[in-house]
A = this chain, B = another copy of it.
Amino acid sequence: MSKGLDVPDPSSNKIRAAILGASGYVGAELVRMLSRHPNVEIVVLTAERRAGQPLAAVYPHLGDLGMPDLLKIDQVEWGGLDVDVVFCALPHGTTQLVVAGLLHATHHSLVDELVADNTEDAISALPKSVKVVDLSADFRLRDLEVYREWYGHAHQAKDLQKNAVYGLTEFSREAIAGALLIACPGCYPTTTLLPLVPLLEKALILPYDIIVDAKSGVSGAGRSEKEANLYAEVAEGMHPYGLGGHRHAPEIDQELSVAANEPVTISFTPHLAPMSRGILATTYVKLADGATARDLHAALVDRFESEAFIRVLDQGAVPATRHVRGSNFCQMNVFQDRVPGRAILVSATDNLIKGASGQAIQNMNVAFGFAETVGLEARPLFP
């Protein structure tokens, strides 16, 4: 008997979730939030390098949640787990094979031949209704040539890619509700796209000369042991990176081009800021003929006023990452530039929540018919 969206298990009234990649920061945030979600039970946690350890050894702050110990992905015995949803918080590039494997047995028509050969038997026990919420970049780019260019290798799950839905929740609820595979946007694209898409759709700004100067906290680089992310390397300083070409730029272009109905190429420069969490995007745009910053503000208010997580601030109020930290909110506002014909958009999110795990849960809520805000009610933690 299948479980899932329409027929939740009456005995528990909960869907059953697996989190792949639970030892990263995004995985930890998924655990933290889903452990209190009234409609979710976490039944599997994987972490390749930390497999065999209890969660307390990896994340002491989550040590008392009664979670299962960490496994390697290939140690999971999917049969009998009755998993309804799989969250993939795996490194870019490795996800596509894992997801293909997960879905092969039940949706083999979607899985490429080659991949299928490698993955067939592993997980044939997965129920057909399982949904995958992916937090990597693997299924975000619809144009597989663009994928190849930026990630350096051919996509290995092309048919799956075609069926993935780009999960910027506020813009794609209908598709998300019916999706098998939801590709959650990156933290930079989420923060950048939220104010830009409605303004391009309404043609209130020009679709060129868009400049995004983004500032990210260090957790965006994950928990990997790199010299560049050491405390003494990061504290008390700032610098840009990925100059002239960051992997998130084509993802932003893709969505802006849809909104503008013409090809858009943005200038996008990320910066590393000495903070653990938070993304601030300062976006410089040119106003369409006749439009004012006030018009832009009104359009954003209008577009987002019924959204639970989007806060278009009152005119003059300034978004700040510390005012969304620990929450699924996005703050935004519009300012008239001193240069005539220009406006400045400012948007802020918590990169680990609205930029990753929170939006993933929001998408899960949509996909399984729960209230969209369930499990995501936490207010920002300040100071």
**Chain A residues proximal to chain B, CB less than 8 Å:** 25, 28, 32, 35-36, 56, 59-65, 209, 211, 213, 215, 217-219, 223, 225-227, 229-241, 243-245, 249, 265-269, 271, 273-278, 280, 282, 284, 311, 313-314, 317-327, 331, 335-339, 342, 344, 346, 348, 377-383
Chain B residues closer than 8 Å to A273, beta-carbon distance: 215, 238, 273-274
What are 28 residue pairs bridging A and B, where the CB atoms are less than 8 Å apart in the complex? Answer: A25-B232, A28-B382, A35-B379, A56-B314, A60-B313, A60-B320, A60-B331, A61-B379, A61-B382, A62-B379, A215-B273, A223-B232, A225-B225, A231-B276, A233-B322, A236-B236, A236-B325, A237-B275, A237-B320, A237-B321, A239-B346, A240-B282, A240-B346, A244-B335, A269-B344, A284-B284, A325-B381, A326-B381
Rounded to whole Å, the gap between the CB of A277 and the closest CB of chain B is: 7
B215 touches A215 (CB 8 A): yes
Rounded to whole Å, the gap between the CB of A220 and the closest CB of chain B is: 9
B280 touches A267 (CB 8 A): no
The quantity of this chain's copies bound in the complex is: 4
Q: Which of B213, B227, B320, B381 is close to A381, meaning CB atoms less than 8 Å apart?
A: B381
Rounded to whole Å, the gap between the CB of A205 and the closest CB of chain B is: 14
B280 touches A238 (CB 8 A): yes
Cα(A233)–Cα(B116), bound, Å: 39
